[in-house]
Structure 1
Amino acid sequence: MTRFTSGLAFLALLGPALAPQSTRAEEARRDKVFVGYLYGNPKNPDYKLYTHICHAFVTADGEGRINANRRGVPSHDLTRDAHAAGVKVLVSLGGWGWDDQFRQIVANPEAESRYVEAVLKLVDEYDYDGIDLDWEYPDAPSETPGFERMTRTFRKRLDAIGATKGRKMFVTMAASSNYGTIDKLDTAFLLETMDWINVMTYDYAGAWSPRAGHNSPLFASSKEGPNGRSTERSMLYFLEKRGVPADRLAVGLALYGRGFPTPEPYSPRAKDAPRPFDVTYKDVPKRLQEGWTRTWDDETKVPWLTSPDGTKVAGYDDPESMRIKTEWAMSKGFRGVFFWQVDGDRLPDGSNPLQKAAHDAWSAAAK
């Protein structure tokens, strides 16, 4: 924890130089956020959990033409019901696998103009409260100017819409926990345009991993060696290396985990072993009934499941780890937390135990 304290001291020295003078008073007044990415068509989302919802996803072709309605996006019903519950709704643009289309759009001025106008029209007509940019990722030098130019246009035009509507409009973005995917974006640009950044502090392990790592450890495991990745280390990168204030960052919480065909956590994977598998929290009660056993990793502050025959393990999150992660995020001054995706822990009785555990911790800290 000494490293984190030194990072905050470093940030305190940098803050006055990084933050525009006109925004410093606003920085102190920023409300904490509890954000859910809504993907697909989940029934009866529990709006009282959230301050903001990111409605995923609106996509487009390389000419900047918005694709036909996909998975209920956009939706008058969602914005109406969420607003009635006091929840803001941002429309999320892009998503995994749509980086080529973004790249083509910003390479063509006509396509970029067409795309910006189409998105702004959608935001206005469907009464969204802004946009969430999910370009995964503008990580090549040739793409960065286009991303920054387009984002600045969105920021300016959305602020104008907000002035007309008499309410604040938001611009956020999803950023990978992998440092390299945001290195090309200037910190001053991020502070200028983004209300906050949703850091996807999950997917630390998967089909690409040489061993059975955890999907989203809070702290790095010593079994991963000195370069083990974790939520803490990713967030420290934004704070210490990039100088982004804590209240411009939201910590990602995944409602799923990943399993591996290995006998124990951090075991090497055989080259010919079956591929890793996803485990949503909705799967967990069934697996426990089938004889899978839960163990707690106190170093990383996350649980594991082990199959009855001892041949598979799965790293996931449960109410205990969600509470600890949320308490940690709030104690460090981050803007809040967000979830991918809101239906991931919906049980047959309609409850969302992971999000409820996180919300209880968030509410206690946000008072």
Structure 2
Amino acid sequence: MASCKKQGADYAVPDTETNSNKTDVNAIATTNFKVIGYLPSWAGEVNQVQFSKLTHVNYAFILPTASGGFQSLENPAKLKSLVTAAHANNVKVLVSVGGWNDGDDSAFESFAKSASGRTTFTNNVVNLVNQYNLDGIDIDWEYPDSGTSGNNYALLMQQLSTAMHNKGKLLTAAVVSYDGPGVQNSVFGYVDFLNIMAYDDEGANHSTYDLAVKSLNYWKGRGLPANKANLGVPFYGRSSNEYVDYKTILSRGGSPNSDSFSGIGYNGIPTIKKKTNLGFDQGGGIMIWELSQDATGANSLLSAINQVVVSRGSLAAQ
């Protein structure tokens, strides 16, 4: 997930009680189209967020500790401002826990392996949600492996699901584009939705339309309900050696109507619109990494998404 990098084979799952695709009866209904934007602690201003075109904003990131606590939240004043502004516009705010963190998921692995660690973490999540008046929590563990790690992830998500849904809050998670055996099928019933990171494939062609189709097919093929499948799109491009914000690509001379410029692959307006329609036809929403990378005015990718949302007759709903 480029989102996480800035923060720096398909396996069969046994149909056991832990891994069955049962549904949490307390899960909040999310049947309408969602537009979810990540806003990093280190980039973007709250007063620049186009709240009228979003349903949810995920504040990224807070890092867990090995004992199930949290490291210090970056820029807490920004989060408070975000919550105030978003709620005034009927937009929900979640905090995303984890991220790429240079590939270090050892804290997740450490606390999730014991019942006491999972309980400590869950209690700290509840306290965080209460402290900042959040609408839920987004878990971005990159990545639980199959086997013991996946079992612990499922147990953690089950406990978080109960804690969040008992308070009328959301539980979501970011997942790899495809080939994610560490996320067991039981998790589908615990979450309100999954944000599928259909980007950061190899090289400049890192987020093609074909990858979007493949990603949705993978998760839905495993049993994820379509209305819980949010297709991730990038507001940045990649070359063989750099990540570049969409707005920077345009400032260098790239076209908003193209998908490549000077060796950089990105999603221009036509592709973003095509993917948004795919999200309507095959999923439950669109997820964006990340809002500060967008251009303004007629070149805005979020505005392109919104044009499709309006044309499809959907009032984006939380």
Q: TM-score, normalised by structure 1?
A: 0.73
For residues 140 and 78 of structure 2, the distance between their equivalents in structure 1, rounded to whole angstroms, comes to 16
Q: Taking CA–CA contacts closer than 8 Å with sequence separation of 6 or more, which of the two structures ends up with the larger relative contact order?
A: 2
> AA paired with 1:357?
A
1:232 matched to 2:197? The reply is: no
Matching residue within 282, 286, 294 for 2:251: 286
**Partners of 1:280 and 1:345 within 8 A in 2:** yes
Question: Percent same amino acid at aligned positions?
Answer: 25
Deviation at 1:174, TM superposition (A): 0.3
Q: Does 1:342 align with 2:291?
A: yes
Query: Which residue of structure 2 lines up, in the alignment, with residue 59 of structure 1?
Result: 63
Tell me if the contact between 2:178 and 2:219 (Cα under 8 Å) persists in the aligned partners. no
Alignment partner of 2:291: what SS?
Answer: coil
Look up the match of 2:305: 358
Aligned-partner residue type, residue 248 of structure 1 = K
* DSSP-derived class of the 2:293 partner: coil
| Match of residue 157, structure 2, among 121, 130, 151 | 151
How far 1:20 moved relative to its partner? 5.0
- Opposite residue 184 of structure 1, the aligned amino acid is G
Is residue 2:174 matched to residue 1:174? yes
SS in 1 for 2:100: coil
**Partner in structure 1 of residue 226 of structure 2:** 246
Partners of 1:215 and 1:100 in 2: CA distance: 27
8 Å CA contact retained: 1:57, 1:73 = no
Contact 1:58 1:73 in 2 (8 A): no
Q: Distance in 2 between matches of 1:77 and 1:63?
A: 29
1:327 correspondence with 2:277: yes
Q: 1:74 to 1:192 in 2, by over 3 A?
A: farther
| Corresponding position: 1:35 with 2:36 | yes
- Contact kept? 2:150, 2:184, Cα under 8 Å: no
Distance, in Å, in 2 between the alignment partners of 1:218 and 1:23 is 34
What displacement does 1:21 show? 10
Q: CA deviation at 1:23?
A: 8.6
1:214 maps to amino acid:
N
Please give the per-residue CA displacement for 1:70-109, whole angstroms capped at 9, x wherever unaligned: 1448832221211111001111111112411100111244
Rounded to whole Å, the distance in 1 between the matches of 2:115 and 2:225 is: 33
The match for 2:205 is 214
Give the Cα–Cα distance (whole angstroms) in 1 for the partners of residues 256 and 50 of structure 2.
Answer: 30
Aligned partners of 1:89 and 1:21: how far apart in 2?
Answer: 22
Aligned AA for 2:230? A
Gaps of 5+ in 1: 1-16, 163-168, 207-212, 220-229, 261-275, 297-301, 307-312
CA distance in 2, matches of 1:59, 1:184: 20
Quote the offset at 1:113 in angstroms. Answer: 2.5
CA contact (8 A) 1:74 1:91 kept: no
- Highest Rg: 1 or 2? 1
Q: In the aligned structure 2, how far is the partner of 1:295 from the partner of 1:364? A: 20
Show structure 2 runs of 5+ residues with no match: 1-19
How many pairs were matched up? 290
The Cα shift of 1:295 comes to: 11
Amino acid at match of 1:42: G
SS in 2 for 1:91: strand
- TM-align CA RMSD: 2.6
Q: CA deviation at 1:366?
A: 4.5
Partner AA of 1:239 in structure 2: K
Distance in 1 between residues matched to 2:146 and 2:92, nearest whole Å: 32
Deviations along 1:193-227, one digit per CA (max 9) or x if unpaired, are 01111000000124xxxxxx4121002xxxxxxxx
Residue number in structure 2 paired with 1:6: none
Tell whether 2:181 aligns with 1:183.
yes
Does the CA contact (< 8 Å) of 2:143 and 2:182 recur in 1? Answer: no
Work out whether residues 96 and 137 of structure 2, in 8 Å CA contact, stay in contact via their aligned partners in 1: yes
- The 1:34–1:366 alpha-carbon spacing in structure 2 relative to 1, beyond 3 Å, is farther
Contact 1:133 1:173 in 2 (8 A): yes
Structure 1 124/283 Cα, relative in aligned 2: closer, same or farther at 3 Å?
same
Structure 1 residue aligned with 2:242, among 274, 277, 300? 277
1:21–1:102 CA distance, 2 compared to 1 (3 A): closer
CA distance in 1, matches of 2:66, 2:37: 28
Tell me the distance in 2 between the aligned counterparts of 1:199 and 1:257.
18
1:259-270 matches, within 5 Å, as 259-260=239-240
TM-score by length of 2: 0.83
